[in-house]
Structure 1
Amino acid sequence: MTISESPHEEEPLVASIDVGTTSSRVILFNKLGQEVSKHQIEYSTSASKQKFASGGARRFSVDSAGGGSAGSAGSAGSGAASPSAARQAQQPIFSAEGIAIEANEFLEIEDLERPTNPTLTFPRPGWVECDPVAILAHVVQCFAANLITMDKINGDRVSRSLLPYRVRCVGIANMRETTLVWSKATGKPIVDYGIVWNDTRTTGIVTEKRNSTPQALQDSLRAKTGLPLYSTYFSCSKLRWLLDNEPAVSEAYEQGDLMFGTVDVWLLYHLTANHAFVSDVTNASRTGFMNLDTLDYDDELLKYWNISRDKINLPKIVSSSQYYGDFTVPQCIKPNLTSVAWTLLTDFCSRSPPVPIQGCLGDQSASLVGQMAFKPGAAKCTYGTGCFLLYNTGTKKLISSHGALTTFGYWFPHLENPEHSQPHFALEGSVAVAGAVVQWLRDNLRLIPKAEDIGPLASRVADSGGVVFVPAFSGLFAPYWDASARATIMGMSQHTTASHLARAAVEGVCFQARAILKAMSSDAAGEGQKDRDFLEEVVDETYEKSPLSVLAVDGGMSKSKEVMQIQADILGPCVKVRTSTTSECTALGAAIAAAMAYEKREDRVLWEDLKDVKKWIRYGGVEQGAKSQDGSAPSKSCTYKSQSLDTDRRRKWRLWEAAIDRCKGWMDIVEEGTGAASNSAVKSM
């Protein structure tokens, strides 16, 4: 599509919708990648609601991390906080990353006193559910709040003879694998919940599949998906569970009324005027149904999960950067907004030309783009609730033999450079627990009053005193993939202090990041030279000979200089740790995807191509390598280098590997013991 108005009449912005596990936000970015406006809703949870109802201290609400009360955007629009927001402002709670948050004009916390269920619920141990309608409402509320803010900002800009801002396009970033089902006839959810990515209810399903599938078939299917088949992580087993356990879902399936999708599909379907039923490759590749080579659903994969194409509506798989539809607001959200907010939204949707939604990335791929890790061999690590590492392999599909998984980084088909316009693959490793272990130390052990204290506490000691903490609260993800593992603390003595435990916890996250990088580097080095011409020559396959030289980091824990120095020490001298220039890499990645979607270069009024993105966002409009007027480089990132001794680092790594071996299979032992005890009780009756 083309832009009919001159880009010089207004200052262009791109809007980014970012739906995470525990919050929703909308951010407006300018050409420099700066946040012109932002509004965020942190969800309350079933756990925090229970604590609030029983008079528990809000500050130790272990799961509170995002959401918004009905009508909250309207409160922002009127400039007056609601009574509940006022109480929240006086009683800070904590995000899932462990960061203390307080309600303010730009950040809301879901009202714990409202009669409806929280957005995020934990109905049983290991079960995590979200409310699809609440997520949609929060997104629209955040969008409305941004329009209200932008309206005020533009009034000020015009009074100072500056060009007013105008949103040109919209991008979406979202938590992946989270599985939603809704009716084709009504557009409403068939069940009132979606199964979140870190839910473990499908353990029995994936275990049965693993035990009944010949190894040759396992290898063949994994080569198609790039994913470990038998993890509860991905959407395939979640959909199978819904079909097996929810009569309404199986009935809709038999009638051909069942629509399946991840969060991106749900949002695009309801926020586009044409009800676009699409999923971009970075999200679709996480379902377990997509063939990485064909970029389409695979009949063998669907048959493996006993899914019939004829009975289910699957979203069309598309690129990460193309026109999906014009932004609109569903009528069902109107009761959640004030008249002022609704009027602003309807005016925005009726603009000419309309505002397109044209960028979509799964959150970790969006972070890769937001970190501007565009070159093959570049890597990023996001420290959120969990820890997610992506390694850009360019147009080369590498199937890991060392525990990493293969996914898509991004696909920007309209860029002129063929190297940039092809689908880009990535190796990925995920750590289930990162910031959550800091939260556990704060809430469960009361070692620290706030998450920001973890770095200083851990740095009071030179090392962990022989303590190793494997934070496998919900099993081990890459590269170990053991759902039966559980968290373990080893090596304690009477000498052990709170500082030793804090340092061991931080090191436990950092060691897992190192394990993933080691796996990825081994995969890359293991390819024949003709298949890895994008890598430097590797002397051997060990991690410390890796071609990777910089790990770009973002997320909550990356804000701690002590934690990042520990990470650099654990990685060793071959890899530098570089922080991001923005705290909102995920949202920025979605904005970049949207800006790259115009087919004509002249229509890309924010950034012309990926090189231009780096020039303006990382270097403030100065060419890479050039100095600004004051002689300094404009990049705002910080770099950490290893200060550890080789002998100490390798000794600690051996301890870590020993601890991993000891924590594996724990729940299998527990279940065997429970079964034995149960059988013994039966025999005694």
Structure 2
Amino acid sequence: MSGKEPVIQSGSEREVVPLVASIDVGTTSSRVILFNKLGQEISKHQIEYSTSASQQAYSASGERNLDEKRRPSSNGSDNEQPIFSAEGIAIEATEYLEIEDLENNVEPTLRFPRPGWVECKPVNILENVVQCFAANLISMDRVNGDRVSNGLPPYRIKCVGIANMRETTLVWSKKTGIPLIDYGIVWNDVRTTEIVQKKKDETSEEYQRHLREMTGLPLFSTYFSCSKLRWLLDNVPAVSKAYEENDLVFGTVDTWLIFNLTHNHVLVTDVTNACRTGFMNLSTKNYDDELLKYWNIDKEKIHLPKIVSSSEYYGNFVVPKCTKKTLTPTAWDLLTSFSNRTPPVPIQGCLGDQSASLVGQLAFKPGSAKCTYGTGCFLLYNTGTTKLISNHGALTTFAYWFPNLHNEDDDYGKPHYALEGSVAVAGAVVQWLRDNLRLFPRAEDVGPLASAVPDSGGVVFVPAFSGLFAPYWDPDARATIMGMSQYTTASHIARAAVEGVCYQARAILKAMSSDAFGSDNKDFLEEVVDETYEKTALSSLAVDGGMSRSDEVMQIQADILGPCVKVRRSPTSECTALGAAIAAAMAFESEEERIIWKNLKDVKKWVYYGGFERGETVSSNTTSNSNLKVFSSKSSNQDRRKGWKMWETAIERCKGWISDIQIS
């Protein structure tokens, strides 16, 4: 461990080093991570999901275990078929990372039954989370044995937080607690296209604006939970039957996990998840009768989770009995002992994944922004306690709500809001360059290749493979590469592809700046005053995710944003999980109980500065933030403006491609 040992806490029997357990359920994997006071990973276990596509490959291969083909062979040969994470990074099974087993006809967690349909198995997700938790307990038990034998205090989990993919819609029985169907509809599923289009056609523009004011969302999108629940009620007899019999429970992934992992089977959802359902009023922080009626949902016939804050006591951790069959006897015994611990371990933090990433990036102040570069990329701009409804294509969402920080300055105990924008393609363009054009063998090679040339040589790459998201919102746009000549090389194309992602991030930040500062005519990332750049509240962009690991890519991002905005890479690669851990640690009512971090300032002190005060002189080997790095623009005004002009021109020329080529 780097940095000094965190402060030791006295336990009921002996001194211990407190940890926070973070459950992080993403679209393609589940993980559980144990964090210490420095924000370091003391233990981690991850299960990468299998999909219906990998199941078909397994069946076609005739092999007993497809995963064995993915691991290095005993003779060290490298001819196995690799698999890739959601960020396009090649992964393989290790002691700490499992790839879901396809033996014995086990159903995959993810399946794609029809084009555009994406489903997940709620039972699998729960079992995977419990298995990851058990693996961490086994690891911690082993490490604690070594620590005690060497005179060091053991680690002890103090509380549990949860981060999860949002909008994914699950339904189960109130009577039995068992899913009514064996799947949930994942956030990026598009089966509800006809439903939302019909709703849009039937709704006046004035009422559409009214709905957006209430929810902060463009409801006429397949993205959100409201249309997914409506589809289930209209198309699945088991769901409609439970609805009529008042046995239907609706929830997102956070609700499903908390329901199953708490001793009292509590039915709750936090505001950052609830605000993505389309049923919650941002102002009241509760379900709105008008919104439920709009989607023809009778609240008397359905059990909706109570909407709560992101940081409060939900219930004590227990291991669900239904998962026993998937665990080894050792794992079950450890989980049972953990469940019966005195005092019990509370689950008390919950954040949707993008809000969790914002918190994990320590972007607490209004005006701070974060960007997570995954398959796509998600930008959140913290607007503080002010709820802004975007006029420039962004969504309005809850950032976090930590009510027990009510005695602090800066309104940290009040609900915080954010503007959110999504870029459809980020890491996916790197995958495309690697797999389709074969420009390089590994995703991490894109940075060096792109930086081998000083600029793109006039090439502009708009990676609109499935249309343009925020702030352009054009589903008929398609990817284009413009400006090529005989001078163009692979490096120019790679650089243009990276710039295409970075320019989209800049466009979203520009739109958010206009929303926040109330001006359509000024570009707050570029405004020049007396040859110097105007200082703006949007002064830094915190970054995490796959592409952020490349120094070259982040320098390109900084150059495109200009000197007003610095790019700050997180000291931890697991910002989402860390955000959930912070939420859990802030749930204790008094600072005396908060033995890990006292408040958000204390979080930054320990996670960023290794326990030292900011600005305090420390030696390089005493800090924990070796990965923390800030990138500043090195570009000239002229080059930056020329590049932005080229980008805007390219965007206009790629818009409407599908509609323009259709023959009536």
**TM-score for the superposition, normalised by structure 2:** 0.91
- For residue 311 of structure 1, the aligned residue among 297, 301, 314 is 301
1:27 to 2:33 alignment: yes
Give the letter aligned to residue 646 of structure 1: N
Shift of 1:494: 4.3
Q: Once structures 1 and 2 are overlaid, which stretch shifts more, 176-185 or 30-39?
A: 176-185
- Name the CA shift for 1:545/1:519 in 2 (closer, same or farther; >3 Å): farther
User: What is the correspondence of 1:227-626 to structure 2 with a 5 Å cutoff?
Assistant: 227-415=217-405, 416-417=407-408, 419-526=411-518, 546-626=536-616
Question: What CA RMSD, in Å, does the superposition of the two structures yield over aligned residues?
Answer: 2.6
Shift of 1:438: 1.3
Q: Which runs of 5+ in 2 are unaligned?
A: 1-8, 74-79, 521-526
- Name the CA shift for 1:514/1:602 in 2 (closer, same or farther; >3 Å): same
1:13 to 2:19 alignment: yes
Give the distance between the partners of 1:608 and 1:577, measured in 2 at CA. Answer: 27
Partner of 2:89: 99
Query: For the Cα contact (< 8 Å) 2:348–2:584, is it kept in 1?
Result: yes
Q: Once structures 1 and 2 are overlaid, which stretch shifts more, 650-659 or 210-219?
A: 650-659
Query: For the Cα contact (< 8 Å) 2:10–2:16, is it kept in 1?
Result: no
Give the letter aligned to residue 40 of structure 2: Q
Give the distance between the partners of 1:377 and 1:138, measured in 2 at CA. Answer: 37
- Show CA shifts across 1:446-469 (max 9, x none): 222111111112222332333322
1:645 to 2:651 alignment: no
Give the distance between the partners of 1:485 and 1:7, measured in 2 at CA. Answer: 64
- For residue 98 of structure 2, the aligned residue among 91, 97, 108 is 108
- For residue 134 of structure 1, the aligned residue among 124, 133, 143 is 124
- Show CA shifts across 1:42-73 (max 9, x none): 112222333444459x9xxxxxxxxxx9xxxx
Query: For the Cα contact (< 8 Å) 1:538–1:547, is it kept in 2?
Result: no
Partner of 1:118: 108
- Show CA shifts across 1:109-136 (max 9, x none): 1124451232122222222211111111
- Show CA shifts across 1:586-625 (max 9, x none): 1011001001101122111101111111111111110112
Partner of 2:5: none
Shift of 1:433: 1.9
Give the distance between the partners of 1:318 and 1:336, measured in 2 at CA. Answer: 32
Give the distance between the partners of 1:319 and 1:585, measured in 2 at CA. Answer: 20
- For residue 178 of structure 1, the aligned residue among 161, 168, 171 is 168
Q: Once structures 1 and 2 are overlaid, which stretch shifts more, 114-123 or 137-146?
A: 114-123
Q: Give the match's secondary structure for 2:478.
A: coil
Identity of aligned residues (%): 72
Give the letter aligned to residue 506 of structure 1: V
- For residue 45 of structure 1, the aligned residue among 51, 67, 92 is 51
Say how many residue pairs are matched. 639
Partner of 2:212: 222
Query: For the Cα contact (< 8 Å) 1:539–1:545, is it kept in 2?
Result: no
Give the letter aligned to residue 657 of structure 1: E
Give the letter aligned to residue 467 of structure 2: G
Give the letter aligned to residue 448 of structure 1: F
1:88 to 2:71 alignment: yes
Shift of 1:308: 1.5
Give the letter aligned to residue 360 of structure 2: G
Give the distance between the partners of 2:371 and 2:104, measured in 1 at CA. Answer: 36
Query: For the Cα contact (< 8 Å) 1:406–1:426, is it kept in 2?
Result: yes
Q: Once structures 1 and 2 are overlaid, which stretch shifts more, 267-276 or 476-485?
A: 476-485
Give the distance between the partners of 1:141 and 1:152, measured in 2 at CA. Answer: 17
- Name the CA shift for 1:119/1:147 in 2 (closer, same or farther; >3 Å): same
- Show CA shifts across 1:159-179 (max 9, x none): 011111110100000011111
- Show CA shifts across 1:58-107 (max 9, x none): 9xxxxxxxxxx9xxxxxxxxxxxx99468524444211201121211101
Q: Give the match's secondary structure for 2:403.
A: coil
- Name the CA shift for 1:21/1:544 in 2 (closer, same or farther; >3 Å): farther
Query: For the Cα contact (< 8 Å) 1:626–1:633, is it kept in 2?
Result: no
Q: Once structures 1 and 2 are overlaid, which stretch shifts more, 628-637 or 615-624?
A: 628-637
- Name the CA shift for 1:620/1:653 in 2 (closer, same or farther; >3 Å): same
